[in-house]
Amino acid sequence: MTIDYDVVIIGGSLAGYYAALAATQLRATVALVEPKVDYGFTHHHALTEIGKLAQKLNDAAGFGIYATHTNTSEERHISMAWQEAMLYAQCVASNLREQHSPAILAAQGVDIIVGSGQFQSSPQLAFAVNNRLLRARTYLLASGSRPEIPEIDGLQTTGYLTLSNIWQSLQGKTLPQNWVIIGGIPQSIEIAQTLARFGCSVTLAVKHLYLLPNIDPEIAILLQAQLEIEGVRVLTDKPVTQVRAIENKKWIQAGDKAIETDEILVATGQQPNLESLNLAMVGVKWHRRSLVVNDKLQTTNQHIYACGDVIGGYDFANVANYEAKIALNNALFFPRLQVNYRSIPWAMFSVPMLAQVGLTEAQAKCQFRRDEVLVLRQYFKTVAAAQLRGETTGICKLIVLRNGEILGASILGLEAGELINLIALAMSQKIKVKDLANLSPVYPSFSEILEQTAREWSKQKLNSNIAMQEFLEGFFHFRRNWNL
C-alpha cells in the first residue's frame, strides 16, 4: 500500500492545528482535514475582559476616582458599550483567525484539505474526502465537539442559545436583559458573570449540589458567594424539568422555582463530532460523550489516535494541546508515551479566577490514608499585593503528604492561572512543598501566597509532633540559661 502521509489529522480544532504544526516541525508529511476553527471562545474571553474593566469602573469610587453623568446619558452609554464590546471581540477573533489561516498552515508544509469525509476499511484503511483517498500510517482525530442538548420538556419548541452560537446571535442586536443559564460547567459560570457585569439579570441553574462537581466544595461556596454579590442568582441542586413559552416570554421550571426570562442559554456539556466519520466500520468504539482511548490515546483501532474534546472532559485548550502532543508523538514514532493528568492544570476565567491541578482534598483522602494527607490553606487577604489591588477575595489550598509531596492545589483569586502553573511545574519535577516554602518571591506580588501556604506544612508537622515541641522548648531554655 502506498502511504501518502505520515499522519492525517481530522478536524479543525485548535488541538488539530497545534498537532499539524508540530508534525511539520518534526519533518513529517501531514494533512489536515476540515481546518475550520470555531472562534466563539475568543468572543467569550474578550467580553469577559471587558466585563472586568466595567466592574473596575463601577468600583473606582473605592479608590477615590469619581465620574458624573445623567441618567439619560448613562442609559445611552450602556447601550453603546455592548455594541462596541462586540465589535472589539470580533476584531480579536478576526486577528486570531488570520494567524491560524489555512494559508499560513500551508506555508508551513501542511496539506490543507477542506471538506468532510469518512473512514473506509477496504481495501486498506484510508480516509475518503472530496473523492480522494488519504492514506497514512496513522490518523489523529481532533474534530472537537458541539453543545450537548439535554432532553427537557418544551426546550426545543421554546428555543434557546448554546455556547457555539450565543455571541454570533447577539451581533448587531440589543442585549436581552433577563437570562437563565442551564448547566454547571466552567463556561456557563464565566458567561453568567460576564452578562451580569453588562447589567443583565442572570439566573444560573445547576443540577449539582455545588457549582461544579469536580472542584473543592470550600472553593465552590466562596465562588458562588462572589457570583451572588455581583447579582447572579445561583440555584444549585435544581435540575430544569420543563420550559414553556407564554405570551412572548420564556418560562423555566428549575426544581421548585418557576422563572420568567427573555433568553435561555444551554451550557450543560459537550458531545464529540464523530457521527459522520464511519468509525464503526474501522473498529473505533465510542460512548455517547467520548471516544474510547487507552492511556497512549489510541482508539480501539491501533492506527487511529484522538485528542481534545472528542475524548471527553471539560473543554480546556491547554489540556487538549497536551493530549495532542502525546498522541502525535505516539502516532509518528512508537506508542510509548502515556498521558498523566496529575500535573496538568486547568483554569476557569471567572472573577476571581479559579485554577486547579492534581487532586482535591476529597480525592486525596480517598486515595491515601487520611492521617497522611495535610491540607494547607492561606487567604489572599494576607497578601500585600492583593490589598494594594483591592482584590482580597480568594484562597490557596495545597494538598500534600506528610513527607512533603505535593498532590494538588486549588486556587481562587487574582492571578490564579499564573500561580497554578508554578504548582504544576513543581509537581511535574517532584519538587517538595518545603522548597516552595523557601521561595523568596518579589514583594509585593501574588506569588507570596504560595510561600505563605507552603510554610503551613512545617507548622502543621510541628504542631502534631509533641516530642519535637518539647525538645525545642528544652533546647532554647538551655540556650537562654547557658548564655547567662
Are 261 and 203 contacting, i.e. CB atoms less than 8 angstroms apart?
Answer: yes
CA 268 to CA 189: how far, in whole Å?
A: 11
Task: Tell whether 11 is in a known binding site.
Answer: no
Are the beta carbons of 296 and 323 closer than 8 angstroms? no
| Annotated binding residue 256 | no
To the question of whether residue 269 is assigned a binding role by annotation, the answer is: yes
Spatial separation of the C-alpha atoms in residues 193 and 351, rounded to whole Å: 8
448 is in an annotated binding site: no
Tracing cell 486515595 back to the chain, one arrives at 367
* Amino acid identity for residue 26 in this structure: L
- Containing 134, the helix (H) or strand (E) segment is strand 132-134
199 assigned to a ligand binding site: no
467/289 Cα distance (integer angstroms): 54
Question: Is 189 labeled as ligand-binding?
Answer: yes
Interatomic CA distance for residues 419 and 396, integer angstroms: 10
CB 360 within 8 A of CB 410: yes
Closest CA to 345 of 423, 398, 400, 414: 423
Q: Does 183 carry a binding-site annotation?
A: yes
246 marked as part of a ligand binding site: no
The answer to whether 474 is annotated as binding is no
First CA to last CA distance, the chain: 91
For residue 374, the cross-strand partners are 400
38 annotated as belonging to a binding site for a ligand: no
User: Does the annotation list 309 as a binding residue?
Assistant: yes
145-147 and 161-162: which strand pairing? Answer: unpaired
- Binding-site entries: 117, 183-190, 269, 309
- Binding-site entries for NAD(+): 183-190, 269
- Binding-site entries for FAD: 117, 309
